[in-house]
Structures are given as C-alpha cells and as structure tokens.
C-alpha cells in the first residue's frame, strides 16, 4: 500500500517534470495546453501521494502486531506458527513414532 503510493507519487512528479520540459522546449507545439497551474497541481498531487505513502508506512509501523503463542508452553512464537521450536520437534517425533507403530501392525 505505502510502496504503491510512493511509486505513484514519484511517477506523477517525473511525468510533471517531463511535461514542464516539453512545454518549455516546444512552446508553440503544445498550444498552451500545459498550463503552469496544471503542472503545479500535478506536482502537488505527486508530493501528496508520497506524503500519504509515508503516513501509510508509519501507520503500518505503529499498528499493533498480532501475537502468537505456543499451544503447549505459551511462549511467544512467530505469527502463523502453532508450536515453539522445541514443542514442534516433540509433536513431529510423536507423530513419526505413531506412524511407525501403525505401519508395523
């Protein structure tokens, strides 16, 4: 989200600067379509988009993160995980032994 706003802002600024150069270089050919007022507004929009991008980025930094805890020991673990490393190994070992026991029957 924030990176998209950054990109939009930067592209708007680049396009505005290109339009300014075209206007200054070929003053007669553009027939006054590229007015100073329009270019200034476009430039402000570009900086506005970058500003919103910064705000969105800060919002993402400040917003509280979801926390996850191991099902067995309640230790803090990465979001999306179910067990801590130690208990994940235990659970996988138990599952393997169960599978082996079932295969022997």
Minimum CB separation of residue 65 from Zn ion in Å reads 20
Alpha carbons 13 and 16: distance in angstroms, whole number: 5
Name the site residues for Zn ion (rule: CB under 5 A).
70, 72-73, 84, 87
Nearer of residues 8 and 88 to Zn ion, judged by Cβ: 88
Nearer of residues 40 and 90 to Zn ion, judged by Cβ: 90
Q: Which secondary structure element, helix H or strand E, spans residue 97, and what is its range? A: helix 85-104
Minimum CB separation of residue 95 from Zn ion in Å reads 16
CA 104 vs. chain centroid, Å, equals: 51
């Amino acid at each position: 989200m924030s990176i998209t706003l950054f990109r939009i802002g930067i592209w708007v600024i680049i396009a505005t600067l290109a339009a300014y150069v075209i206007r200054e270089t070929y003053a007669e050919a553009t027939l006054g379509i590229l007015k100073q007022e329009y270019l200034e507004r476009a430039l402000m929009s570009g900086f506005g988009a970058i500003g919103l991008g910064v705000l969105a980025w800060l919002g993402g930094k400040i917003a509280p993160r979801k926390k996850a805890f191991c099902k067995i020991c309640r230790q803090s673990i990465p979001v999306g995980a179910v067990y801590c490393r130690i208990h994940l190994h235990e659970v996988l070992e138990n599952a393997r032994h169960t599978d082996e026991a079932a295969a022997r029957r």
